[in-house]
Amino acid sequence: MKKFVRIGLKDILITLRDAPALAILLGMPMIIILILGSALGSLGSDSEMARIDVAIVNLDEGDIGKEIVEGITEGEELEELFDTQVLDDAEEAREGLERGNLAALLVIPEDFSDKINDSKPVKMNVFIDPGKEISASIFQNVVQSIAIRIASASVAVQTAKDVFVESKMVADERDFSRHMDKVVKEITADDALSAVDVLESNIEKERKITELDFYGTGMTIMFLLFGSMFGAFSLVKEREEKTLSRLLITPTSKTSIIGGKMLGIFFVGVVQFLVLFLFTVILGVHWGENLFGVFLLALGVLLAMTGLSVLFSSVAKNVRSVGAIAPLVVIVMALAGGSLFPVSTMPEWLQPIRYLTINGWALDGLSSLMKGAGTNSILPNFGALMAMFFAFFLLGVWRLGYEE
């Protein structure tokens, strides 16, 4: 155990004394975070000219629910204003809203038409993303207007129905409803007549994610992965200089040697994360209220990074090869995983690729924590990072073979 720790401490000291390595691991991310976070505005900015992304889930099987959907999706002015998705699954739609893909979501409940026809109170649920408050409020006002129209029509129709049926001017209520269908669509009234309550439900989110938040977390995760490159440098360099071979003929076990090297890589990553975490907090990056969850994800990233360094060292024949392979892999992971730009801006069919990367799982979890999620919600993310650690490590060990 002492040899294991001694080897790890040696590698930590070597890295901390390496000025070029520190410049890449600490200096570069600090500069990039500072520049990007200061130069760019809010990630949830509502100033864009593009159509507002909204969704409708219609659980109603009656005509009124269909009319609402058609009114929003087929109206010429509304079609220019909203990019509307009509979905069948409310949970899927909520997930899209939580990921930031939508500004607002309208859910029309079951039996909506029946309750309106019977003059019973009923609610349409509008879920909004507070990070897109202006866009969401526009959609909410449109739905409110529709609710008022339907409510007033319902009151007018019910009153007329009672009069006409009692006077026997129509055969029955169904006959009346058929003749009054066109009239219903034209009737409007004020808010006082509303029998429809539009329930605004905000997705739990303490604050909107700013560019500083996005790049602060994204760059931190990306540059933690660059730590795997320097860990691989250390392993390959010792293999090239035959230091590893000489160590293997000593009483020191292979497990202690490789374990010590991994310990050094891991603790350099710990120092790097703590420094960048404090730096970003000072700048104003909001990591969320659940710091335990943040550090749990950081642990998963650091372990996955450590396993990745072993894999890099196993496929690279020399230090130059590490310098060519590792940065390429890290940049590809950053691009696919959402460190450089939001995954939501990618084509929808391409977005799942982030789950093949360390960045994707880490940033997905951090995004949830920023929105107020609890630790349980990021346990799958931590589990995926641990699975990557074991996969990278075992594959690397298999390729290395620890041959003298």
Q: What CATH number does residue 189 fall under?
A: 3.40.1710
Domain membership of residue 393 (yes or no) is yes
CA 330/CA 194 separation, integer angstroms: 56
Residue 383 confidence (pLDDT): 96
Greatest mean pLDDT range, 100-114, 293-307, 310-324: 293-307
DSSP H or E run through 83: strand 82-87
Domain boundary among the residues 177, 202, 227 is at 202
Domain boundary among the residues 152, 185, 202 is at 202
* Residue whose tokens read 């605004």: 200
Domain membership of residue 364 (yes or no) is yes
Shared domain check, 181 and 124: yes
Q: pLDDT higher for 281 or 65?
A: 281
Q: Who's near 387: CB < 8 A, 6+ residues apart?
A: none
Per-residue confidence at 78, pLDDT binned at 50, 70, 90?
Answer: confident
Residue 243 confidence (pLDDT): 61
Shared domain check, 239 and 156: no
Shared domain check, 102 and 247: no
Q: pLDDT higher for 387 or 311?
A: 387
DSSP H or E run through 241: none
Shared domain check, 188 and 263: no
Per-residue confidence at 7, pLDDT binned at 50, 70, 90?
Answer: low
Domain count, the chain: 2
Domain membership of residue 12 (yes or no) is yes
Shared domain check, 325 and 289: yes
pLDDT at 49 over 50: no
Q: pLDDT higher for 344 or 178?
A: 344
The predicted model gives 303-313 an average pLDDT of 91
Q: Which of 217, 222, 260 is nearest to 238 (CA)?
A: 260
Q: Which of 97-106, 167-176, 214-223 has the lowest mean pLDDT?
A: 167-176
Shared domain check, 147 and 293: no
Are 220 and 197 contacting, i.e. CB atoms less than 8 angstroms apart?
A: no
- Give tens-digit pLDDT for 249-296: 555 556 666 777 788 889 989 999 999 999 999 988 989 889 999 999
Domain membership of residue 189 (yes or no) is yes
pLDDT at 47 over 50: no
pLDDT at 25 over 80: yes
Residue 194 confidence (pLDDT): 42
Q: pLDDT higher for 306 or 138?
A: 306
Residue 287 confidence (pLDDT): 93
Shared domain check, 364 and 296: yes
Residue 136 confidence (pLDDT): 81
Mean pLDDT computed over every residue of the chain: 78
Residue 404 confidence (pLDDT): 46
User: With pLDDT > 70 as the criterion, what percentage of the chain qualifies?
Assistant: 73
Domain membership of residue 249 (yes or no) is yes
- The encoded tokens of residue 37 equal 């976070």
Q: Which of 80-89, 189-198, 372-381 has the lowest mean pLDDT?
A: 189-198
Q: pLDDT higher for 61 or 154?
A: 61
Report the predicted TM-score, pTM, of the whole model to 2 decimal places.
0.61
Domain membership of residue 47 (yes or no) is no
- The encoded tokens of residue 355 equal 């789950």
Shared domain check, 372 and 271: yes
Return the sign of the alpha-carbon dihedral for residues 155, 140, 204, 382.
Answer: positive
Domain boundary among the residues 202, 235, 262 is at 202
DSSP notation for 95-115: HHHHTTS-SEEEEEPTTHHHH
- Give tens-digit pLDDT for 223-262: 999 888 877 877 777 777 666 555 555 555 566 667 777 8
Q: pLDDT higher for 100 or 393?
A: 393
Q: pLDDT higher for 299 or 166?
A: 299
- Grouping H, G, I as helix, E, B as strand and the rest as coil, residue 53 is strand
pLDDT at 193 over 70: no
CA dihedral (6, 11, 14, 18) in degrees, to 10, reads: -160
Shared domain check, 299 and 267: yes
> Residue 123 forms beta bridges with which residues?
197
Shared domain check, 11 and 61: no
Domain membership of residue 75 (yes or no) is yes
- Give tens-digit pLDDT for 327-370: 999 999 999 999 988 888 888 889 999 999 999 999 999 988 88
Shared domain check, 278 and 161: no
Q: pLDDT higher for 27 or 44?
A: 27
The predicted model gives 299-314 an average pLDDT of 92
> Residue 53 forms beta bridges with which residues?
83
CA 93/CA 85 separation, integer angstroms: 9
Query: C-alpha angle 169/170/173, rounded to 5°?
Result: 135
Shared domain check, 361 and 343: yes
Residue numbers of the domain that contains 117: 52-202
Domain membership of residue 117 (yes or no) is yes
Q: Which of 6-10, 12-16, 53-57, 249-253 has the lowest mean pLDDT?
A: 249-253
- The encoded tokens of residue 234 equal 């250390």
